[in-house]
Amino acid sequence: MGTDPLSSSANGASPYGGTAVITFVNEKGGVAKTTSCVNLAAALAQRDCRVLCIDLDPQANATTAFGISADQAIQREAHCLLTMPRFPLERAIVPTKIENLDLVPSSARMADCDKTLVLEVGREGRLRGKLREFYRSVLTDKYDVVLLDSPPSLDLLTVNALTAATHMIVPVTTKFYALKGMALLGDLVATLHEQIGATVKLLGILVTMFDKKTALDTTIYRLLKEKIEREYGNYMFSTIISRSVVVSEAEAGGLPVLMRDPDSAAAGAYRGLADEVVGRLAAEARRPASTVPALAGASAK
Protein backbone atom coordinates (compact mmCIF):
# COMPACT_ATOMS: atom_id res chain seq x y z
CA MET A 1 0.00 0.00 0.00
CA GLY A 2 2.99 2.31 -0.25
CA THR A 3 2.57 5.38 1.96
CA ASP A 4 -1.05 4.69 2.76
CA PRO A 5 -1.55 5.40 6.49
CA LEU A 6 -3.22 2.04 6.99
CA SER A 7 0.09 0.39 6.28
CA SER A 8 2.43 -0.54 9.07
CA SER A 9 4.98 2.22 8.80
CA ALA A 10 2.55 5.10 9.22
CA ASN A 11 0.64 4.06 12.33
CA GLY A 12 3.48 3.13 14.60
CA ALA A 13 1.44 3.36 17.82
CA SER A 14 -0.57 0.23 17.02
CA PRO A 15 0.35 -2.92 18.94
CA TYR A 16 -0.16 -4.90 15.72
CA GLY A 17 2.94 -3.77 13.87
CA GLY A 18 1.18 -0.54 12.97
CA THR A 19 -2.05 -2.01 11.55
CA ALA A 20 -5.25 -0.16 12.42
CA VAL A 21 -7.93 -2.34 14.02
CA ILE A 22 -11.22 -0.47 13.80
CA THR A 23 -14.37 -1.54 15.59
CA PHE A 24 -17.89 -0.38 14.75
CA VAL A 25 -19.66 0.13 18.01
CA ASN A 26 -22.99 1.45 19.27
CA GLU A 27 -25.09 -0.14 21.96
CA LYS A 28 -28.15 0.88 19.98
CA GLY A 29 -29.34 -1.66 17.42
CA GLY A 30 -30.05 -1.02 13.76
CA VAL A 31 -27.82 2.06 13.27
CA ALA A 32 -25.88 0.50 10.34
CA LYS A 33 -22.83 -0.81 12.23
CA THR A 34 -22.75 -3.95 10.09
CA THR A 35 -23.63 -2.20 6.83
CA SER A 36 -20.89 0.37 7.41
CA CYS A 37 -18.33 -2.26 8.44
CA VAL A 38 -19.03 -4.38 5.35
CA ASN A 39 -19.03 -1.47 2.91
CA LEU A 40 -16.00 0.29 4.38
CA ALA A 41 -14.19 -3.06 4.15
CA ALA A 42 -15.14 -3.30 0.46
CA ALA A 43 -14.13 0.31 -0.23
CA LEU A 44 -10.72 -0.17 1.42
CA ALA A 45 -10.20 -3.47 -0.43
CA GLN A 46 -10.89 -1.64 -3.69
CA ARG A 47 -8.02 0.72 -2.84
CA ASP A 48 -5.71 -2.32 -2.82
CA CYS A 49 -5.71 -2.45 0.94
CA ARG A 50 -5.67 -5.99 2.37
CA VAL A 51 -8.64 -6.13 4.72
CA LEU A 52 -9.75 -8.63 7.35
CA CYS A 53 -13.26 -8.35 8.75
CA ILE A 54 -14.07 -10.12 12.02
CA ASP A 55 -17.77 -10.68 12.69
CA LEU A 56 -18.30 -10.67 16.47
CA ASP A 57 -22.09 -10.54 16.41
CA PRO A 58 -24.15 -13.73 17.02
CA GLN A 59 -26.65 -12.34 14.47
CA ALA A 60 -23.86 -13.00 11.91
CA ASN A 61 -25.17 -10.23 9.64
CA ALA A 62 -21.72 -9.29 8.33
CA THR A 63 -21.10 -12.95 7.52
CA THR A 64 -24.28 -13.22 5.44
CA ALA A 65 -23.70 -9.79 3.90
CA PHE A 66 -20.52 -11.24 2.37
CA GLY A 67 -22.50 -14.24 1.10
CA ILE A 68 -20.85 -16.67 3.56
CA SER A 69 -23.13 -19.43 4.83
CA ALA A 70 -23.27 -20.97 8.31
CA ASP A 71 -21.88 -24.24 6.84
CA GLN A 72 -18.74 -22.48 5.70
CA ALA A 73 -18.39 -20.90 9.14
CA ILE A 74 -18.31 -24.14 11.17
CA GLN A 75 -14.90 -24.65 12.82
CA ARG A 76 -13.59 -21.50 11.15
CA GLU A 77 -15.26 -18.78 13.10
CA ALA A 78 -14.91 -16.11 15.74
CA HIS A 79 -16.47 -18.44 18.33
CA CYS A 80 -13.44 -20.78 18.16
CA LEU A 81 -11.14 -17.78 18.34
CA LEU A 82 -12.64 -16.50 21.57
CA THR A 83 -13.40 -19.75 23.37
CA MET A 84 -10.40 -21.95 22.42
CA PRO A 85 -7.13 -20.60 23.87
CA ARG A 86 -4.91 -22.36 21.31
CA PHE A 87 -7.06 -21.68 18.23
CA PRO A 88 -5.01 -19.25 16.08
CA LEU A 89 -6.54 -16.38 14.11
CA GLU A 90 -5.32 -17.72 10.77
CA ARG A 91 -7.42 -20.89 11.19
CA ALA A 92 -10.61 -18.86 11.55
CA ILE A 93 -10.17 -16.88 8.31
CA VAL A 94 -12.20 -17.61 5.16
CA PRO A 95 -11.86 -15.78 1.83
CA THR A 96 -14.78 -13.71 0.49
CA LYS A 97 -15.74 -13.21 -3.16
CA ILE A 98 -13.97 -9.85 -2.98
CA GLU A 99 -10.31 -9.52 -3.80
CA ASN A 100 -8.16 -8.36 -0.85
CA LEU A 101 -10.96 -9.04 1.62
CA ASP A 102 -11.12 -11.98 4.06
CA LEU A 103 -13.51 -12.72 6.89
CA VAL A 104 -13.64 -14.39 10.27
CA PRO A 105 -17.28 -15.48 10.19
CA SER A 106 -19.74 -15.59 13.06
CA SER A 107 -22.68 -17.84 13.86
CA ALA A 108 -25.42 -18.09 16.47
CA ARG A 109 -22.92 -20.02 18.63
CA MET A 110 -21.28 -16.67 19.45
CA ALA A 111 -24.13 -16.04 21.87
CA ASP A 112 -22.58 -18.72 24.18
CA CYS A 113 -19.28 -16.86 24.55
CA ASP A 114 -20.40 -14.98 27.67
CA LYS A 115 -21.24 -18.24 29.44
CA THR A 116 -18.22 -20.19 28.16
CA LEU A 117 -15.74 -17.49 29.16
CA VAL A 118 -17.31 -16.45 32.45
CA LEU A 119 -14.63 -18.05 34.65
CA GLU A 120 -11.69 -17.56 32.28
CA VAL A 121 -8.86 -15.26 33.28
CA GLY A 122 -8.18 -12.58 30.67
CA ARG A 123 -11.50 -13.14 28.88
CA GLU A 124 -11.79 -9.45 27.91
CA GLY A 125 -8.48 -9.60 26.05
CA ARG A 126 -8.91 -12.89 24.20
CA LEU A 127 -9.28 -11.28 20.76
CA ARG A 128 -6.46 -8.81 21.43
CA GLY A 129 -4.18 -11.73 22.34
CA LYS A 130 -5.04 -13.61 19.13
CA LEU A 131 -4.47 -10.52 16.99
CA ARG A 132 -1.13 -9.83 18.69
CA GLU A 133 0.00 -13.42 18.11
CA PHE A 134 -1.06 -13.16 14.47
CA TYR A 135 0.90 -9.95 13.93
CA ARG A 136 3.95 -11.30 15.76
CA SER A 137 4.10 -14.47 13.66
CA VAL A 138 6.49 -14.39 10.73
CA LEU A 139 4.49 -17.11 9.00
CA THR A 140 1.23 -15.25 8.42
CA ASP A 141 0.34 -12.96 5.56
CA LYS A 142 -0.62 -9.68 7.19
CA TYR A 143 -3.61 -7.42 6.60
CA ASP A 144 -3.32 -3.64 6.30
CA VAL A 145 -6.50 -3.05 8.26
CA VAL A 146 -8.80 -5.15 10.44
CA LEU A 147 -12.46 -4.18 10.86
CA LEU A 148 -14.57 -5.57 13.71
CA ASP A 149 -18.38 -5.71 13.68
CA SER A 150 -19.76 -5.80 17.21
CA PRO A 151 -23.24 -6.59 18.52
CA PRO A 152 -25.76 -4.01 19.79
CA SER A 153 -24.80 -4.28 23.46
CA LEU A 154 -21.85 -3.56 25.72
CA ASP A 155 -21.38 -7.27 26.48
CA LEU A 156 -18.22 -9.41 26.54
CA LEU A 157 -18.09 -9.55 22.73
CA THR A 158 -18.09 -5.75 22.46
CA VAL A 159 -15.60 -5.58 25.36
CA ASN A 160 -13.31 -7.93 23.37
CA ALA A 161 -13.71 -5.68 20.32
CA LEU A 162 -12.93 -2.52 22.31
CA THR A 163 -9.96 -4.16 24.02
CA ALA A 164 -8.52 -5.39 20.72
CA ALA A 165 -9.21 -2.27 18.65
CA THR A 166 -6.93 0.68 18.06
CA HIS A 167 -9.88 2.81 16.88
CA MET A 168 -13.65 2.90 16.96
CA ILE A 169 -16.26 4.31 14.60
CA VAL A 170 -19.65 5.06 16.13
CA PRO A 171 -22.49 5.01 13.57
CA VAL A 172 -25.53 7.08 14.57
CA THR A 173 -28.88 7.86 12.98
CA THR A 174 -30.49 11.30 13.00
CA LYS A 175 -32.70 10.71 16.01
CA PHE A 176 -33.01 12.84 19.13
CA TYR A 177 -31.47 10.08 21.28
CA ALA A 178 -28.58 9.48 18.84
CA LEU A 179 -25.83 10.19 21.38
CA LYS A 180 -27.57 8.66 24.39
CA GLY A 181 -25.13 5.75 24.69
CA MET A 182 -21.93 7.79 24.17
CA ALA A 183 -21.30 8.58 27.84
CA LEU A 184 -21.73 4.93 28.79
CA LEU A 185 -19.39 3.88 25.98
CA GLY A 186 -16.85 6.46 27.16
CA ASP A 187 -17.05 5.13 30.72
CA LEU A 188 -16.55 1.55 29.50
CA VAL A 189 -13.54 2.57 27.40
CA ALA A 190 -12.06 4.43 30.40
CA THR A 191 -12.53 1.34 32.62
CA LEU A 192 -10.93 -0.95 30.01
CA HIS A 193 -8.05 1.50 29.69
CA GLU A 194 -7.44 1.55 33.45
CA GLN A 195 -7.96 -2.13 34.17
CA ILE A 196 -6.53 -3.93 31.15
CA GLY A 197 -4.62 -1.31 29.21
CA ALA A 198 -7.04 -0.93 26.28
CA THR A 199 -5.92 1.94 24.03
CA VAL A 200 -8.89 2.33 21.66
CA LYS A 201 -9.45 5.85 20.32
CA LEU A 202 -12.47 7.44 18.71
CA LEU A 203 -11.86 7.69 14.96
CA GLY A 204 -15.18 9.28 14.14
CA ILE A 205 -18.95 9.45 14.44
CA LEU A 206 -20.77 8.48 11.23
CA VAL A 207 -24.29 9.61 10.38
CA THR A 208 -26.17 6.83 8.61
CA MET A 209 -29.60 6.27 7.04
CA PHE A 210 -30.04 10.00 6.54
CA ASP A 211 -33.04 11.27 4.58
CA LYS A 212 -32.39 14.76 3.29
CA LYS A 213 -36.01 15.15 2.13
CA THR A 214 -37.20 14.86 5.71
CA ALA A 215 -37.06 18.23 7.45
CA LEU A 216 -36.71 16.55 10.84
CA ASP A 217 -33.60 14.59 9.72
CA THR A 218 -32.00 17.82 8.48
CA THR A 219 -32.77 19.66 11.72
CA ILE A 220 -31.51 16.82 13.92
CA TYR A 221 -28.40 16.46 11.76
CA ARG A 222 -27.55 20.13 12.39
CA LEU A 223 -28.19 19.82 16.14
CA LEU A 224 -26.20 16.59 16.29
CA LYS A 225 -23.23 18.14 14.49
CA GLU A 226 -23.23 21.13 16.85
CA LYS A 227 -23.49 18.86 19.90
CA ILE A 228 -20.69 16.55 18.76
CA GLU A 229 -18.39 19.47 17.96
CA ARG A 230 -19.16 21.12 21.30
CA GLU A 231 -18.87 18.03 23.50
CA TYR A 232 -16.43 15.74 21.68
CA GLY A 233 -14.53 17.85 19.14
CA ASN A 234 -14.05 17.47 15.41
CA TYR A 235 -15.15 13.85 15.32
CA MET A 236 -18.10 13.88 12.94
CA PHE A 237 -17.23 12.39 9.53
CA SER A 238 -18.22 14.79 6.76
CA THR A 239 -19.39 11.76 4.77
CA ILE A 240 -23.10 11.15 5.38
CA ILE A 241 -24.67 7.82 4.47
CA SER A 242 -28.15 8.45 3.06
CA ARG A 243 -31.03 6.05 3.36
CA SER A 244 -31.28 4.08 0.14
CA VAL A 245 -32.96 0.83 -0.79
CA VAL A 246 -29.92 -0.34 -2.78
CA VAL A 247 -28.00 -0.75 0.48
CA SER A 248 -30.39 -3.30 1.98
CA GLU A 249 -30.94 -4.99 -1.41
CA ALA A 250 -27.19 -5.55 -1.71
CA GLU A 251 -27.04 -6.95 1.81
CA ALA A 252 -29.85 -9.38 1.05
CA GLY A 253 -27.95 -10.44 -2.08
CA GLY A 254 -24.80 -11.26 -0.11
CA LEU A 255 -22.62 -8.53 -1.63
CA PRO A 256 -21.57 -5.06 -0.45
CA VAL A 257 -23.31 -2.24 -2.33
CA LEU A 258 -19.91 -1.22 -3.73
CA MET A 259 -19.82 -4.42 -5.77
CA ARG A 260 -23.51 -4.83 -6.46
CA ASP A 261 -24.23 -1.22 -7.44
CA PRO A 262 -20.89 0.60 -7.75
CA ASP A 263 -22.40 3.68 -9.41
CA SER A 264 -24.97 4.27 -6.69
CA ALA A 265 -24.76 7.26 -4.35
CA ALA A 266 -24.42 4.84 -1.41
CA ALA A 267 -21.34 3.20 -2.96
CA GLY A 268 -19.87 6.66 -3.56
CA ALA A 269 -20.55 7.62 0.05
CA TYR A 270 -18.73 4.57 1.40
CA ARG A 271 -15.78 5.31 -0.91
CA GLY A 272 -15.82 8.83 0.58
CA LEU A 273 -15.80 7.33 4.07
CA ALA A 274 -12.76 5.23 3.13
CA ASP A 275 -10.98 8.42 2.01
CA GLU A 276 -11.78 10.09 5.32
CA VAL A 277 -10.70 7.07 7.38
CA VAL A 278 -7.38 6.92 5.55
CA GLY A 279 -6.98 10.70 5.95
CA ARG A 280 -7.75 10.65 9.69
CA LEU A 281 -5.29 7.81 10.33
CA ALA A 282 -2.65 9.70 8.36
CA ALA A 283 -3.28 12.87 10.37
CA GLU A 284 -3.11 10.92 13.62
CA ALA A 285 0.17 9.29 12.62
CA ARG A 286 1.65 12.79 12.23
CA ARG A 287 0.46 13.94 15.70
CA PRO A 288 2.15 13.05 18.99
CA ALA A 289 0.22 10.21 20.65
CA SER A 290 -0.54 12.29 23.75
CA THR A 291 -2.79 14.65 21.76
CA VAL A 292 -5.19 11.90 20.70
CA PRO A 293 -7.67 11.28 23.55
CA ALA A 294 -9.22 7.86 24.06
CA LEU A 295 -12.71 9.30 23.76
CA ALA A 296 -12.80 13.05 23.83
CA GLY A 297 -15.55 14.34 26.11
CA ALA A 298 -16.24 10.85 27.36
CA SER A 299 -17.93 12.16 30.46
CA ALA A 300 -20.17 14.58 28.55
CA LYS A 301 -23.82 13.66 29.05
Ligand X SMILES: Nc1ncnc2c1ncn2[C@@H]1O[C@H](COP(=O)(O)OP(=O)(O)OP(=O)(O)O)[C@@H](O)[C@H]1O
Residue ranges that bind Mg ion, judged by CB under 5 A: 33-34, 61
Burial-class residue 168 by CB neighbours within 10 Å (0-12, 13-18, 19+). buried
> Residues 130-169: x/- map of binding to ligand X (CB under 6 A)?
----------------------x-----------------
For residue 57, give the nearest of 164, 151, 171 by alpha carbon: 151
Q: Does 124 bind ligand X (CB under 6 A)?
A: no
For residue 199, give the nearest of 189, 208, 207, 209 by alpha carbon: 189
- Which option in ligand X, Mg ion, none does residue 105 bind, with CB closer than 5 to 8 A by kind? none
Q: How far is the CB of 33 from ligand X (least distance, A)?
A: 4
Q: Does 32 bind ligand X (CB under 6 A)?
A: yes
Q: Which of 16, 42, 57, 64 binds ligand X (CB under 6 A)?
A: 57
Q: Which is nearer to Mg ion, 10 or 31 (CB)?
A: 31
Q: Does 208 bind ligand X (CB under 6 A)?
A: yes
For residue 85, give the nearest of 119, 53, 132, 130 by alpha carbon: 130
Q: Which is nearer to Mg ion, 25 or 259 (CB)?
A: 25
Q: How far is the CB of 140 from ligand X (least distance, A)?
A: 28
> Residues 224-263: x/- map of binding to ligand X (CB under 6 A)?
-----------------x-xx--xx--x------------
